[in-house]
Amino acid sequence: MARRAALELKDGYYANLGIGIPTLVANYIPDGVDVTLQSENGMLGMGPFPYEGEEDPDLINAGKQTITELRRSSYFNSADSFAMIRGGHIDLSILGAMEISENGDIANWMIPGKMVKGMGGAMDLVAGVKRCIVTMDHTNRAGASKFLKACTLPLTGLNCIAMVITDLGVFEREENDRFRVSELAPDVTLDEVKAKTEADIIYT
Amino acid sequence: MSKKVFETAEQALDGLTFDGMCVMAGGFGLCGIPENLIVALRDSGAQNITAISNNAGVDGFGLGLLLETRQIKKMMSSYVGENKEFERQFLAKELELEFNPQGTMAERIRAGGAGIPGFYTKTGVGTVIADGKPTREFDGETYIMETGLTCDVALVKAWRGDTQGNLQYNKTARNFNPMMATAGKITIVEVDELVEVGTIDPNFIHTSGIFVQRIIQAKCEKRIEKVTTRERGAA
């Protein structure tokens, strides 16, 4: 999924990668594609993890991991960081999700009755970034579809997801249109996708 | 010596703490938090504190110290995932919690410090965050109104400061600190390095001294939450 999502990063993009699978996308950026990664705690041009012994407590990413800077890097405060995000200056955000609905709603921050950790910057990202892509497992541990007619969990954002990449395939959506199966993962059939998708999507 | 400079965190907080006070504390995770001022706030004994901070520290460090002593009545944060005591108090309904999307929180503080009582944003439209908040349409899109935030005392961490309170921050330890510095009725700063006026190039000052009432130099532990490294020779 991370490898497939990386193909959505275009040359010259400023992108924000969420925690989990989206973080791994950075490892698969194609050669010749120049991407600047934003970390919403206040950095553009996120570099790789430091060598052991060179960790800097004043230099972390939004997942609180130690990182390094690049020649292109810049630092800024949280208000400027979210001016980039909410002001529509970030080209692409790749996020994880608990549920996606057929009209592009996303739920990824809260399960009622369980401890709520908070939305962090997720609501700002889905409301402000030009294009938002989700990577997630197609079904939950019980085998139920996570790609639904309507989200059952509290929402993170409305009508904001343009593409869903799951272990079964890639689902693309034109603005205000239905999602369409655009790719199947290896050894996955359309019938399997149909069986595991609750959302009304286009299969041709 | 400038009247802004204090010797210790305890002295810097002297006369400013009270029960029911509202405090902002800078930092993202444990990065760029005013460690020594938080300890001094705990030791002041102030109760029923409303704390505005992106996170709630970890058990036994940062704002986690004030949770242990039950001095915090209410937290306003965007993410609180790293603190067991927080979770326990919240589930036992001993602690109020108001989640704010991170960008909304940053902007609320920025606005508060700039004398802007409210603003409109798309963030949170159609979610629980919008519940009870006025909405308005601009160019056919719905926005929700958020209010500016100020506080009684802002606790700020900077890298370098001069005796007039002019500040520079280091790397991602900047985060919420510059906005919070503007939003405190009183802003207290702890710096790694306190220098004489004129030492910092005026062209490279991040926060002007007008926002800073008190400043101390103090050694920080700077605990790292998640040490991640790569192997030498790897890309």
CATH architecture of the domain covering B9-117+151-217: 3-Layer(aba) Sandwich (3.40)
A60/B159 touch (CB, cutoff 8 Å), yes or no: no
Q: How many residues does chain B have?
A: 235
**Is A139 an interface residue toward B (CB < 8 Å)?**
no
What are the chain A neighbours of B105 within 8 Å (beta carbons)?
A: 78
> Which residues between 69 and 98 in chain A have a beta carbon less than 8 angstroms from any beta carbon of chain B?
69, 75-79, 81-82, 85-86
Q: Which of B34, B58, B53, B27 is nearest to B173 (CA)?
A: B27
Task: Give residue limits of the domains in chain B.
Answer: 9-117+151-217
Distance between CA atoms of residues A188 and A195, nearest Å: 12
- Name the residue facing A75 among B107, B110, B171 (closest C-beta): B171
* Range with lowest mean pLDDT among A56-65, A74-83, B86-95, B152-161: B86-95
Residue of chain A minimizing CA distance to B176: A78
Distance between CA atoms of residues A141 and A135, nearest Å: 16
pLDDT (average), residues A187-195: 97
Q: Which of B99, B61, B67, B93 is nearest to B80 (CA)?
A: B99
* Inter-residue contact B144 to A157 (CB < 8 Å): no
What is the overall mean pLDDT for chain A? 95
pLDDT (average), residues B128-151: 98
Instruction: Quote the domain boundaries for residue A150.
Output: 2-195
Of chain A, the percentage scoring pLDDT greater than 90 comes to 91
Q: What is the pLDDT of residue A28?
A: 94
- How many cross-chain Cβ pairs, A to B, lie less than 8 Å apart? 180
What are the chain A neighbours of B181 within 8 Å (beta carbons)?
A: none
Q: Would residue A200 count as lying in a domain?
A: no
Q: What is the pLDDT of residue A113?
A: 80
pLDDT (average), residues B86-100: 92
How many domains does the structure of chain A reveal? Answer: 1
The pLDDT-based confidence of B235 (bands split at 50, 70, 90) is low
> Which residues between 29 and 68 in chain A have a beta carbon less than 8 angstroms from any beta carbon of chain B?
39-43, 48-52, 54-67
Q: Would residue A102 count as lying in a domain?
A: yes
Distance between CA atoms of residues A167 and A137, nearest Å: 6
Q: What is the pLDDT of residue B234?
A: 59
In tens, the pLDDT along A30-62 reads 999 999 999 999 999 999 999 999 999 999 999
* Inter-residue contact B91 to A131 (CB < 8 Å): no
- Name the residue facing A119 among B78, B126, B224 (closest C-beta): B78
What CATH number is associated with residue A14? 3.40.1080.10
Model confidence, pTM: 0.96
Q: What are phi and psi of A5, to 5 degrees?
A: -60, -35
pLDDT (average), residues B198-208: 98
B78/A57 touch (CB, cutoff 8 Å), yes or no: no
Q: Enter the tokens of residue B109.
A: 């503080």
Distance between CA atoms of residues A14 and A37, nearest Å: 6
Respond yes or no: is residue A40 known to be catalytic. Answer: yes
What are the chain B neighbours of A55 within 8 Å (beta carbons)?
A: 224, 227, 229
**Is A176 an interface residue toward B (CB < 8 Å)?**
no
Q: Which of A39, A24, A49, A21 is nearest to B227 (CA)?
A: A49
Hey, CA dihedral for B185, B190, B196, B198, is it positive or negative?
Answer: negative
- Name the residue facing A77 among B175, B222, B224 (closest C-beta): B175
- Name the residue facing B28 among A41, A76, A128 (closest C-beta): A41
Q: Would residue A202 count as lying in a domain?
A: no
In tens, the pLDDT along A97-155 reads 999 999 999 999 998 888 788 999 999 999 999 999 999 999 999 999 999 999 999 99
